[in-house]
Amino acid sequence: MKRAAIYARVSTPDQHLENQLLDLSKLAAQRGFEIVREYTDRGISGSKAKRPGLDAMMADARRGEFSVVLVAAFDRLARSTKSFLSTVEELEQLGIALISAREAVDTTGAMGRMFVTLVASIAELERSLIVERIRSGMRRARLEGQRLGRAPIAIDRDALVRDRLSGMSLTETAKRYRVSRATVVRLVREASQRQTVAAA
């Protein structure tokens, strides 16, 4: 009986891993695999190369803890083609097969490996299109005069800078003007830079 690992990931904390784990457990039973461990990442984008669950799985893979990895879909493993193919290549070098429930493909054969490359490219294209749509929306919003990002802080900046430079503590200044300590530091730095430019 082959020893199998399950890897599941959701992008946001409010999504549920249980459905993926249940479906993959059923797939393992159908294939006659023994599940030795489940690895999960919750609230982490597939575009991030470093993930605690994935890192733990790869560390166990290098120790030969299992010979098969089951995922709900290829994009659960990674969104980036580079990251995805790097992971698949390392698994292949370790003699570990990757099986995806949604794509119904495993990497043990030439056709499976070819399909992996195609699907990974499509996933990256999809992500690029999403990013481009967001950028396009932001450009349209700017043309329509909409403000993007945080609204300006409605405080007396000069007074804040004077109080801070006169000896008021960072914490006291932040409390008085109801802003964060980081904002106080930034405003004082910006004021100092303006004075330096004016003096030059």
Annotation says 11 is catalytic: yes
Query: Are 88 and 24 within 8 A, CB to CB?
Result: no
DSSP 55: H
Query: Are 35 and 29 within 8 A, CB to CB?
Result: no
The neighbour count for residue 122, using CB atoms within 10 Å, is 13
Catalytic residue among 11, 25, 45, 67: 11
Question: Shortest CA distance to 160 belongs to which of 146, 150, 175?
Answer: 175
Query: Are 80 and 110 within 8 A, CB to CB?
Result: no
Active site residues: 11
